[in-house]
Amino acid sequence: MVAEIDVLSINTIRTLAPDVVQKANSGHPGAPMGCAPMAHTLFAKFIKANPSAPTWINRDRFVLSNGHACALLYIMLHLTGHNISLEDLKQFRQLNSKTPGHPEANHGVTGIEVSTGPLGQGISNAVGLAIAEAHAAATFNRPGFDLIDNYTYVICGDGCLQEGVQAEAASVAGHLQLGKLIVLYDDNHIQIDGDTALGFTEDVNKRFEAYGWHTQVIADGDKDFDGIEAAIEAAKKVTDKPSIIKIRTTIGFGSKNQGEEKVHGAPLGEQDIVNVKSLFGFNPENKFFIPEEVKAYYAEIQKKGVEAYDAWNALFAKYAAAYPDLAAEFTRRVAGELPAGLKEALPRYTPADPAVATRKLSENVLNKIAPILPELIGGSADLTGSNLTRWKGAVDFQPDSTGLGTYAGRYLRFGVREHGMSAICNGIHAYGAHIPFGATFFNFISYGLGAVRLSALSHHQVLYIMTHDSIGLGEDGPTHQPIETLAEIRALPNILSFRPADGNETSGAYLTALQNKTRPSVLILTRQNLPHLVGSTVEKVAFGGYVLQDVEGKADIVLVATGSEVAIAVDTAAELAKLSIKSRVVSFPCWELFDEQSQEYKESVFPEGVPVLSIEAMSTYGWEKWAHASIGINTFGASAPAKDLYKKFGLTPDQIAPKAKKLVDFYAGRTPEYKLRHAF
């Protein structure tokens, strides 16, 4: 039941938010004012957390999916005792502040679970957070020990509910019966273009019912605080369905322009703020004002959080006594430490082993590591049999009622939902106890790039297992053949792309990806078989590139290639030998890691004075960084058997060798510019 202090708290938020935006002279006051009742209700009455132990694994998660409303989130984090001061609120949207224009997870502010702002991501991440919770609970809870039982709460707006990524994730959540996921939909009828009548007239709750969600409506979210509280209580009681509560609100409630688009994305102006404060019984002279009663109230809330945390720790101590192995494993998982024996478990190969596709070699790795890496959880966007991502003995993550798996299962059936998959993986990682992976054809990583970008920005260790990585997929043709795709990933900061050439490199790519805990990795794998190469190693993948095969004395040319083209480079070297041209072959599985090596190491791979030819069955865009000439494909692909395509696109040793010779001749008597020496 709502007391006077709740009303005062809500009005505090409603008057504080416009101050924050006004001071920055930039930002979004409308949604924070409209969402103040639901945010206060959640934080004051439901969210179980301890800001002094912000990574407590069983805390309730809160996601502000409409990230542009972050003035609200920062205010709530300040009120609840997270590391945002009133001064930080005054630095909203300023350089190097803790309060950037949209919430950034893993950037030093506690209580920000995921980065939001790009619409549709937060609510989709929340599906991942809820999956991770359900999986952790099923894995670690024991009778009398509900170690994991947290909720995931979301506030989202109309924008998030228009995005496809949200539709994908919401359908998954309904199927998975994620009862601990509760979404509060700020139904304010206003989007940037104006009234939602312009283009968003669907029946949202009916749609969510179609997905299998529980739905409720609050007709007056500006005033019916009891209703909001009761609806959240009711949602918590529904254990086999996620819940959405559609709450009709007035954007910018209290402003003279309330209910209009004007209050969405610009400061209210000083005069309107005076009116707002007067309306809510606040002294207009006061800026950034929080009444002492509100501070005291939130201090009480914080205290309850500490008590819950202490009680949980006491529970965990008993659990550790009763289940020491499980507790140790739990502790390892939450600390993000890799288990022992991982490297030793990886398959290794010799050139005598038969040729195998790297997607199959990836399956070999998964078969070996999945049993000893129980934090690995993931699946494919409905390409399991093609991506080969389901390891032996895998159990599906499914509600018991489906008869298809259990919540302790670790194999996810994402469906044909690449964007949702990627955003869900971000959420699973954000939970803090898993290493998630998602799989599809490499070309379709583009469908999910909005979320992949946030994996990188938010330091989520997500493994993107991408097969069918080039024209080598053959007959499916240009709609499925990546050309620009690797450049997309390489141009993105804080992400690793691996294109392994054979078995050892595939094992090495997994090892390196698993060891890189603060960034996502993309594993780019072939459909077609590749030979195991002389000179390939597991370990050298971590260097990004290395000399696979060399000649005596100084080489006339360096052939640098990735993935399936490394074997072609080796064969080209043999062709060139017939022409008395000495070739060094460099395998270059991870461009980004090579770039991070010492100058000395890099020079040991690409020696000065030797021209470099790159060979990669996709766009040559960007290769000028390393190579003096490039063999690749700068058009779309074609539909035909893979061998025909390699021939058509000039990617055969007999076609490459003459070009390599031309490159050598081009530099005869001249020194090629050294790509590793820079003016600054």
328 residue type, one letter = A
Residue 246 binding a second copy, by CB under 8 A: no
Cβ proximity to a second copy, 176 vs 538, nearer residue: 176
CB of 486 to a second copy, least distance (A): 8
CB of 490 to a second copy, least distance (A): 6
Going by C-alpha positions, the residue among 458, 493, 456 that lies closest to residue 100 is 458
Cβ proximity to a second copy, 28 vs 59, nearer residue: 28
Q: Rg of the Cα trace of the chain?
A: 28
Site map for a second copy, 51-80, x if CB under 8 A? ----------------xx------------
Establish whether 202 is a catalytic residue: no
Going by C-alpha positions, the residue among 543, 547, 574, 542 that lies closest to residue 558 is 547
Q: How many residues of this chain bind a second copy (CB under 8 A)?
A: 126
Cβ proximity to a second copy, 517 vs 675, nearer residue: 675
Distance CA 462, CA 223 (A): 42
Distance CA 279, CA 446 (A): 49
CB of 407 to a second copy, least distance (A): 15
Asked if residue 382 belongs to a known ligand binding site, the reply is no
Residue 384 binding a second copy, by CB under 8 A: yes
Q: Of these, 81, 117, 221, 436, which contacts a second copy (CB under 8 A)?
A: 117
CB of 247 to a second copy, least distance (A): 18
CB of 362 to a second copy, least distance (A): 17
Asked if residue 190 belongs to a known ligand binding site, the reply is yes
Residue 474 binding a second copy, by CB under 8 A: yes
Asked if residue 480 belongs to a known ligand binding site, the reply is yes
Instruction: Identify the three-state secondary structure at position 195.
Output: strand
Instruction: Identify the three-state secondary structure at position 51.
Output: coil
Residue position matching structure tokens 């312009």:
198
CB of 657 to a second copy, least distance (A): 12
Please tell me the number of Cα atoms within 13 Å of 299 on its side-chain side: 7
Q: Of these, 93, 180, 333, 527, which contacts a second copy (CB under 8 A)?
A: 93
Q: Of these, 16, 182, 492, 533, which contacts a second copy (CB under 8 A)?
A: 492
Q: Of these, 55, 199, 299, 604, which contacts a second copy (CB under 8 A)?
A: 199
Q: Which residues within the stretch 261-300 sit at the binding site for a second copy (CB under 8 A)?
A: 261
Asked if residue 366 belongs to a known ligand binding site, the reply is no
236 residue type, one letter = K
Question: Cβ distance 245 to 230 under 8 Å?
Answer: no
Residue position matching structure tokens 């000495």:
582
Scanning 171-179, 216-224, 241-249, 311-319 for contacts with a second copy by CB under 8 A, the matching segment is: 171-179
Q: Which residue of the set 363, 418, 488, 616 is catalytic? A: 418
Cβ proximity to a second copy, 202 vs 300, nearer residue: 202
Residue 217 binding a second copy, by CB under 8 A: no
Phi, then psi, of 296 in degrees rounded to 5? -65, -40
Asked if residue 459 belongs to a known ligand binding site, the reply is no
Residue 204 binding a second copy, by CB under 8 A: yes
Strand order in the sheet with 243-248: 61-64, 152-156, 181-187, 243-248, 214-218
Scanning 50-58, 132-140, 157-165, 178-186 for contacts with a second copy by CB under 8 A, the matching segment is: 157-165
Scanning 282-290, 339-347, 364-372, 376-384 for contacts with a second copy by CB under 8 A, the matching segment is: 376-384
Distance CA 25, CA 93 (A): 9
Q: Of these, 274, 326, 487, 551, which contacts a second copy (CB under 8 A)?
A: 487
DSSP 8-state secondary structure symbol assigned to residue 548: E
Q: Which residues within the stretch 573-592 sit at the binding site for a second copy (CB under 8 A)?
A: none
Going by C-alpha positions, the residue among 520, 518, 460, 438 that lies closest to residue 113 is 460
Q: Of these, 273, 483, 525, 605, which contacts a second copy (CB under 8 A)?
A: 483
Asked if residue 264 belongs to a known ligand binding site, the reply is yes
Asked if residue 282 belongs to a known ligand binding site, the reply is no
CB of 110 to a second copy, least distance (A): 18
Which residues, 6+ apart, have CB-to-CB distance to 246 below 8 Å?
185, 187, 204, 205, 215, 216, 217, 218
CB of 100 to a second copy, least distance (A): 3
Residue 165 binding a second copy, by CB under 8 A: yes
Residue 385 binding a second copy, by CB under 8 A: yes
Distance CA 122, CA 326 (A): 31
Q: Which residues within the stretch 615-674 sit at the binding site for a second copy (CB under 8 A)?
A: 619, 621-622, 624-625, 628-629, 634-636, 638-641, 644-645, 648, 659, 662-663, 665-667, 672-673
Residue position matching structure tokens 């009891």:
226
462 residue type, one letter = V
Residue 120 binding a second copy, by CB under 8 A: yes
Residue 386 binding a second copy, by CB under 8 A: yes
Instruction: Identify the three-state secondary structure at position 309.
Output: helix
Cβ proximity to a second copy, 47 vs 486, nearer residue: 486
Asked if residue 150 belongs to a known ligand binding site, the reply is no
Question: Cβ distance 350 to 531 under 8 Å?
Answer: no
Residue 242 binding a second copy, by CB under 8 A: no
Distance CA 385, CA 376 (A): 19
Question: Cβ distance 453 to 492 under 8 Å?
Answer: yes
Scanning 223-231, 244-252, 362-370, 480-488 for contacts with a second copy by CB under 8 A, the matching segment is: 480-488
Asked if residue 68 belongs to a known ligand binding site, the reply is yes
Cβ proximity to a second copy, 381 vs 533, nearer residue: 381
Q: What tokens appear for 228 in the block?
A: 């909001």
CB of 86 to a second copy, least distance (A): 19
Q: What tokens appear for 92 in the block?
A: 């909203």
Question: Cβ distance 510 to 435 under 8 Å?
Answer: no
CB of 125 to a second copy, least distance (A): 13
38 residue type, one letter = M
Going by C-alpha positions, the residue among 6, 109, 46, 110 that lies closest to residue 308 is 46
Q: Which residues within the stretch 391-450 sit at the binding site for a second copy (CB under 8 A)?
A: 396, 398, 402, 404, 413-420, 443-444, 446-447, 449-450
Q: What is the dihedral of CA 200, 203, 209, 215, to 10 degrees?
A: 100
Asked if residue 82 belongs to a known ligand binding site, the reply is no
Could you tell me where the beta strands, DSSP code E, fall in 296-452? 356-357, 376-380, 411-413, 435-441
CB crowding 520-532: b at 16 or more within 10 Å, else e: bbbbbbbbbbbbb
Q: What tokens appear for 134 in the block?
A: 């359900």
Distance CA 6, CA 361 (A): 58
Asked if residue 332 belongs to a known ligand binding site, the reply is no
DSSP 8-state secondary structure symbol assigned to residue 379: E
Asked if residue 159 belongs to a known ligand binding site, the reply is yes
Binding residues: 28, 68, 117-119, 158-159, 188, 190, 264, 359, 386, 444, 468, 476, 480, 527
Instruction: Indicate which residues carry an active-site annotation.
Output: 418
